[in-house]
Amino acid sequence: MTRVVIDAMGGEIGVGPTVAGAAELSLESDSIQMILVGDARLITETLGSLSHDSRRIQVAHSSPVSTDGTTKTNASIEVAMDILARGGADALVTAGHTDTLVAMATDRLKYLPGIRRAALAAVHPTEQRHGPKEDPFALLLDVGATQTASAEDLVSFAVMGSAYAQIISANPRPSVALLSNGKNLTHGTPAIQQAHEHLSRHPAVHFVGNVEGLDLPRGSVDVVVCDGFVGSVVFAMLEGVTEVVTDLARDAYARKFLWRLGLTMLSQGLRQLRVMTDWRQYGGAPLLGFESVIIKADSRSNARAIRNAIRVANKAIEHDLSGQIRRGMMPVD
């Protein structure tokens, strides 16, 4: 039985989608116990209007969000993090703000042995497929937890990303690369060059060298490692590209009936483009590095996205993600 604590007030989405996602999942899975954290009255009311299995869902109350001038305290994530830190849950799911989540996790949780900084990992759509399930996604980390990463941090990100891909994509030997401005060892910042050297002889990582920005949309490797500054710029750019393609399509769609025909055919053919329009909803991004499992769902998640995020948290626990990372971080003999 996996116990997942869920921040029900995080993100821009309000209580509705979070509670709905949990309610749906309670009817599907009997291996997940959920704790919804937030305004208890509101959550209970929302739950009451949805079919759900009440044996699988508990509610933990948090004070309503208080605003004093400009500062906004987000009590639900605090209460949820406390439950996780005290061992009242194995995993946490939130659609709340990344910076708050990272700050709170760093403050309250223990890092896994050898890890000094957390990494947020996110999938993005690629042209090439990945792993035995032929996923049209690759994993990118860090996308915003650790702005500047040392060589050691980058190496630990590689271990963590590899472990996560092994579990979530059932990929026994994911290929891992460093994101740089050229293929050679001589390219990149000093941290990247040093990490490159370490990873070249790392027993737990199938390191294939550097990739360039060019390779991200192509998806030539399964896991791409970079620091949080570069990762968040690059990841936001992938979002921007998606939006532009969608805008162009919508614009054309509206303009002319013939185009409508053209675009309909196109959209049937180019599944990748469709996938791109809602890939953020595919299960959330793990915040890696801690003893517990933490999944950050997109701040605009719908019920399905929240349900997927809870499922991913459960999968990570069932397949012992922390143990997998721990083994990967063992010192080289």
For the CB of residue 195, give the shortest distance to a second copy in the complex, in Å: 14
Whole-number Cα distances in Å, 88 to 4, 59, 292? 9, 13, 11
Per-residue burial over 58-74, b if 16 or more Cβ lie within 10 Å, else e, is ebbbbeeeeeeeeeeeb
* Residue (38 or 144) nearer to a second copy, CB: 144
* Residue (50 or 237) nearer to a second copy, CB: 237
DSSP 3-state of 62: coil
* Residue (37 or 149) nearer to a second copy, CB: 149
* Spatial contact of 200 and 192, defined as CB atoms under 8 Å apart: no
Burial of 113 (0-12, 13-18, 19+ CB in 10 A): exposed
For the CB of residue 153, give the shortest distance to a second copy in the complex, in Å: 15
* Residue (100 or 189) nearer to a second copy, CB: 189
For the CB of residue 31, give the shortest distance to a second copy in the complex, in Å: 37
Which 226-285 positions form the footprint of a second copy (CB under 8 A)? 226, 228-230, 232-241, 243-245, 247-249, 252, 255-256, 258-259, 261-266, 269-270, 272-273
* Spatial contact of 32 and 1, defined as CB atoms under 8 Å apart: yes
What Rg do the C-alpha atoms of the chain give, in angstroms?
20
Residue from 59, 177, 216, 313 touching a second copy (CB under 8 A): that is 216
The span from the CA of 316 to the CA of 36, in Å, is 19
* Residue (279 or 311) nearer to a second copy, CB: 279
The span from the CA of 120 to the CA of 100, in Å, is 13
Question: What is the CA 164 to chain-centroid distance, rounded?
Answer: 10
H or E, element range at 207: strand 206-211
For the CB of residue 258, give the shortest distance to a second copy in the complex, in Å: 6
Whole-number Cα distances in Å, 228 to 78, 125, 235? 23, 19, 10
For the CB of residue 201, give the shortest distance to a second copy in the complex, in Å: 24
For the CB of residue 2, give the shortest distance to a second copy in the complex, in Å: 33
* Spatial contact of 164 and 120, defined as CB atoms under 8 Å apart: no
Residue from 41, 72, 116, 218 touching a second copy (CB under 8 A): that is 218
* Residue (197 or 243) nearer to a second copy, CB: 243
Q: Is 217 in the site for a second copy (CB under 8 A)?
A: yes
Count, residues near a second copy per rule CB under 8 A: 51
Which 120-179 positions form the footprint of a second copy (CB under 8 A)? 127, 144, 147-148, 179
* Residue (1 or 261) nearer to a second copy, CB: 261
Interface positions with a second copy (CB under 8 A): 127, 144, 147-148, 179-181, 188-189, 212-218, 226, 228-230, 232-241, 243-245, 247-249, 252, 255-256, 258-259, 261-266, 269-270, 272-273
